[in-house]
Structure 1
Amino acid sequence: MPESNTATLNPQVIDKAVEWLVHLWSGSADSDSRAAWQKWRAADPEHERAWLHIEDVNQQLRGRMNGVSADTAIASIAQPASRSRRKALKTFSAVVTVGTAAWLSSETMLWKTLSSEIRTATGEQLNFKLTDGTQLELNTDTAVNVRYDSALRLVQLVRGELLITTAKDSASPARPFMAETAAGRILALGTKFTVRHDGDISQVAVLEGAVELIPANKPGQVVRLDAGQAGSFNAEGVVTPPHAISAQAAWTEGVLIASDMRLDDFIAELKRYRPGHLSCDPASASLRLSGVFPLNDMQKILTSLTEVLPVRVQTFTRYWTRIVPAGPVDTAAS
């Protein structure tokens, strides 16, 4: 396939195409699954381009790949979910995606994510202790690099969200601790804080101590956040001034908090934790809900929506779910 057809593909679309490939190879795909797969391909021209791309790459892998045949590799990652399976899936997704030379640029977000030292998959969380005793808790779909040297302790958040609990540095002189995103740097002042990066904006919430937000393009415009405060910034400066923390750190307690939240916004947040396709019908998008929802039970959350809102859950396969207005079941769609 010509490079011009694949160089602009969204990495998330590539990941979804790989998910479909693995599911179809898993042996558990039934007629409903295949219908949903075909529907996904037809839903967007980019979906079809992504699928044709992975088929092309898969054909190229039919030889030997690091001593393992492509068929064996795919069969391996099609096994039930586990940490090793998730790692294999990410690896295969990387192989598929970097089949086009354009993806090899170290400047692309995909490459930065794949080359990150510490990563979590969708729905996965991970606790990690650094050499100085600093604790990192990675939320779903997060990628982090660690860069310690004689002058600075630096954690780079490539994508996603994490909780950082800094430790006192034993080096002499003590090195400052900073978190870095595409928006800029966050200087920790003996602290515990969360940082999340979406698009070009980083959101920070301070649980203990204090931090200073340092925009990448305007490092002189420093803003301080103290314990109990949250704020957001981009490379040009502060987007949201300091304000009281609401639900930014709820994920560290294993819950998702909604306070008079639009349903489409709630679904957008929920899909960060759930593999596969999850969407909301525009007709139900403006409905609002409040509550505390356990992130370890996605089915319970979906069921609860039907109990508090006039909606129903339309499930094609376990990888394809849509929230639609309550009413007669559309047998043609399901």
Structure 2
Amino acid sequence: MQQPETSVPSDIVDQAVRWAVKLDFGEGNAAAQKAFGQWIDASPLHRLAWQRVQDLKDDFSRMPPALALDTLKAVSDRRGTHRIKRRQALKILALAGVSVLAAGTAHERAPWQRLLADASTATGEQRTVQLDDGSTIVLNTDTAISTSLRAERRVVTLRRGEILVATGHDSRIATARGAARPFWVETPFGGLHALGTRFVVRLEAGRARVSVLEGAVALHPANGRADDSNANVARPGTSWWLAPDGSTPAPARPFTEDGWAEGVIAGNDMRLSDLLAELSRYRSGRIVCDPRVADLRVSGAYQVGDTDRALAFLAQAQPIDIRYRTRFWVSVGPR
């Protein structure tokens, strides 16, 4: 007679999912491995949950990488507005593991980071998070963060996307010395020490763009020293690139760095192709710009919450034609 399957509580399933994603996606350092070993040894149910995660990954190992990535993105986008069941989360995890091994492009293409996040947004969604220390974090489209307000410092980890940070004064909880805890934003490319400030951080390919609106931010590349005396300091009105091996000034952009937090892309003398690239971040699919109209100059404020309306307005104001080949494929060319 077949024995009934042992039930695993949902909170332990969640823990197993998080451990698997951490270890599979580059967070398996010595400290993480030690903590994972302690978690596994703490309960037979932990071992059982972990084994089922591994079994699911084996089951999905034959899936074509492109299909795995597309499925992961579709279900993860759904998770932004509807909380998925634990079993679905396990399948997503399995797909994520397959995509890393087979495709090697999950970090860029598949939003697995949302499985690790404390807060996230789907494509086209924005969200404001208030921390207990009085800080405010605004998440832009397709963004994921984790937060940790520790005894010695406050940390926000930007896993994907873009955030606007307004640091609080930490009046509720302070260190034993009576001083406010340092506020850090951690990225895959290095850390940012906020020196009482308001700033935007956006992850791009191989680097992060840091734009300071108020106060100052000390930039700490991942491969550099962690003390502020050795760091470049970004001042108000400046933007910097933060890469693993260093930080350098970034050129100004034609649109305001924090306009998206007000729901708009606003600027003067913007290249049409640059504006369309920004608008495309707020919709599923692609907006393709014909090189013949890429250098047209546009000005104004364009609503990110209704990209179809923004495209229609552009078609009225510029000598361009907007063609919807599908809901997810829009071509912009000369009229």
Normalising by the smaller structure, the TM-score range is: 0.5 to 0.7
Contact 1:258 1:266 in 2 (8 A): no
Unmatched tracts of structure 2, length 5 or more: 1-63
Question: CA 1:118–1:209 in structure 2 vs 1: closer, same or farther (change >3 Å)?
Answer: same
- Find the counterpart in structure 1 of residue 206 from structure 2: 200
Unmatched tracts of structure 1, length 5 or more: 1-48, 59-73, 327-334
CA distance in 1, matches of 2:321, 2:127: 33
- TM-superposed deviation, 1:142: 0.5
- Find the counterpart in structure 2 of residue 171 from structure 1: 174
Contact 2:282 2:305 in 1 (8 A): no
Residue 94 (str. 1) matches residue 92 (str. 2): yes
From 81, 84, 88, the equivalent of 2:81 is 84
CA distance in 2, matches of 1:293, 1:234: 30
- TM-superposed deviation, 1:183: 2.0
From 310, 314, 321, the equivalent of 1:305 is 314
1:264 alignment partner, SS class:
helix
CA distance in 1, matches of 2:160, 2:79: 22
Letter in 2 for 1:293: Y
Q: Deviations over 1:225-259 (max 9, x none)?
A: 23333322212222326979961111112110243
Q: CA RMSD in A?
A: 3.5
Identity, in percent, stands at: 35
- The TM-score normalised by the length of structure 1 is 0.66
CA distance in 2, matches of 1:132, 1:104: 42
Q: Deviations over 1:164-219 (max 9, x none)?
A: 11112222233211011122111111112111111122112222222111111123
CA distance in 2, matches of 1:194, 1:114: 23
Residue 128 (str. 1) matches residue 137 (str. 2): no
| Equivalence map 1:51-62=2 (5 Å) | none
| The structure with more strand, counted as a fraction of residues | 1
Residue 321 (str. 1) matches residue 330 (str. 2): yes
**How many pairs does the alignment contain?**
256
Residue 212 (str. 1) matches residue 218 (str. 2): yes
Contact 1:139 1:162 in 2 (8 A): yes
- TM-superposed deviation, 1:156: 0.8
